[in-house]
Structure 1
Amino acid sequence: MDREKLFASSLEMIDELKQEIINSNIIDCGPRLELVEQCIYISFDHGMAVNHLLTVDLPVQSLVLLRSQFEAVVRSYWLLFIASNNEISNLNFGYTFEEQFQLDKYPMVSEMLDKLSKADLLAKPVIDHLCAFKKIHLKQLNSFVHTGKQSFTRDTMGFSDEMLTILMRQSNNLITVAAQIMLAHSVPDNQKFINYLTGKYRQCFYLDEDVDLKTKARVEKYFSDGYLK
């Protein structure tokens, strides 16, 4: 499948998943799940934007949004499992002018992941994948956000088609990770839809079996040797 058709298929997948969630009967779990749902739809929109930016050859900008998408997904899991009732209450604000200037005191992505990974959760396999994503990609993504070295390097070097395809697939991985929360709270539990979707749109996802083992070993060696701490 050529790149243009692959990106079109990716957007079709996102729309199908979003419609499935909209049509699902979601359990009413109060303000906590309402905030989680908001967070998930924000991550969905980020993911759609990543895909659209890639189709118009704006990969640096898509990487900036991938960083925001990643944090939105992590935040949704933190809101569901870790955030205190007081933190949940404080996020239900009244849209006043003054509130727009109040300092956001909520934890950053590293702290959220640390707390999630230490908790005894059924979602641990998902959390482990998010921790792995953070370990390998977060510093580079932060560099794009802050117009650091990665921005200048990639603006000059460009991206191969393979890199752009992997970027799209990883963004889609995050979309399904977010969607899993909502599908788990549907009646009946509809998490099996993720398996159906990854089968139907297999080329739109970056799964464990797609990882190049030689590249993975090389990256792990950098961490073990202390270069990328």
Structure 2
Amino acid sequence: MFDASDHLADELIALIDLPLFDDSLRIRTSDVACSLSLEHWASVRVLLRSGLLSSATVVHRAQFEALARSIWLLYAASDTHLSKLTATLSSESEQAAKNMPQIAEMMQALANSGPQQAYDALCRFKDISWKALNSYAHAGIHPIQRHHEGYPLQLLHNVLRNANGMAVFAGMQAAVLSGQQSLQRSILALAAKHSVCMPPPL
């Protein structure tokens, strides 16, 4: 499972290694968030290989949030939001950006102005996983019990599959940011090729 996921990662990253559609601030900033989501994916895989499921699940939550941020930045963020996120980092810019919309607000904005398929996919993931992910992020019942009792191998595999599915979703976003939406078919074919390490269809 872990080796298959690494092979998926190598092929996916090679497939989406493309220039951006243009040099606009919106696309560049969305790309940074998309890349951050893929970085979190790499971290999830490393942590799961080490048997550190609780930590991996916290990073998996960040993986989802970074991808949601990328899609929101592309389709729904205001110019003011963009300028706050791209200001030179300082105590002043940190303060200005502290009230940036979080996941619920981003999802609501995407419901109004985002692509339906992307919004639906984000909603499905959130509906299924969000409560458990929050529990892991805030030391709730899930991580307390699992850390005490031990982590079932199947649970590690499920988190890995979900992280891989989220990475394929990020690959689809990267294709949009490159202006090569037709590449999404190749990304879906890649996911089918590596179905052993992908989540079941929703």
TM-score under structure 1 normalisation? 0.81
1:199–1:135 Cα change, 3 Å = closer
1:187–1:90 Cα change, 3 Å = closer
Alignment correspondent of 1:176: 168
Alignment correspondent of 1:166: 158
Alignment correspondent of 1:71: 65
Alignment correspondent of 1:217: none
Alignment correspondent of 1:192: 185
Q: Aligned-pair distance for 1:8?
A: 1.6
Alignment correspondent of 2:89: 95
The structure 1 residue matched to 2:40, chosen from 46, 70, 75, is 46
Q: Aligned-pair distance for 1:49?
A: 0.7
May I ask how many residue pairs the two structures share in their alignment?
201
Larger radius of gyration: 1
TM-score under structure 2 normalisation? 0.91
1:188–1:81 Cα change, 3 Å = closer
The amino acid that maps onto 2:40 is: H
For the Cα contact (< 8 Å) 2:85–2:97, is it kept in 1?
no
The amino acid that maps onto 1:69 is: Q
Alignment correspondent of 1:206: 199
Q: Aligned-pair distance for 1:186?
A: 2.9
Unmatched tracts of structure 1, length 5 or more:
1-5, 212-229
1:194-223 C-alpha deviation (Å, 9 max, x unpaired)? 122112211121131xx6xxxxxxxxxxxx
Alignment correspondent of 1:21: 16
Q: Distance in 2 between matches of 1:117 and 1:199?
A: 28
The structure 2 residue matched to 1:59, chosen from 50, 53, 57, is 53
1:104 partner SS: coil
Q: Distance in 2 between matches of 1:111 and 1:98?
A: 23
1:141-167 C-alpha deviation (Å, 9 max, x unpaired)? 111111122211111233322221111
Q: Could you tell which deviates more after superposition, 162-171 or 188-197?
A: 188-197
Q: Distance in 1 between matches of 2:189 and 2:30?
A: 23
Q: Percent identity?
A: 29
Q: Aligned-pair distance for 1:16?
A: 2.0
Alignment correspondent of 2:74: 80
Q: Distance in 1 between matches of 2:118 and 2:198?
A: 15
Alignment correspondent of 1:3: none
2:47 partner SS: helix
Q: Distance in 2 between matches of 1:153 and 1:185?
A: 41
Q: Distance in 2 between matches of 1:155 and 1:59?
A: 9
Q: Distance in 1 between matches of 2:23 and 2:199?
A: 32
Alignment correspondent of 2:120: 128
1:28-52 C-alpha deviation (Å, 9 max, x unpaired)? 1501010111001110010111111
2:100 partner SS: coil
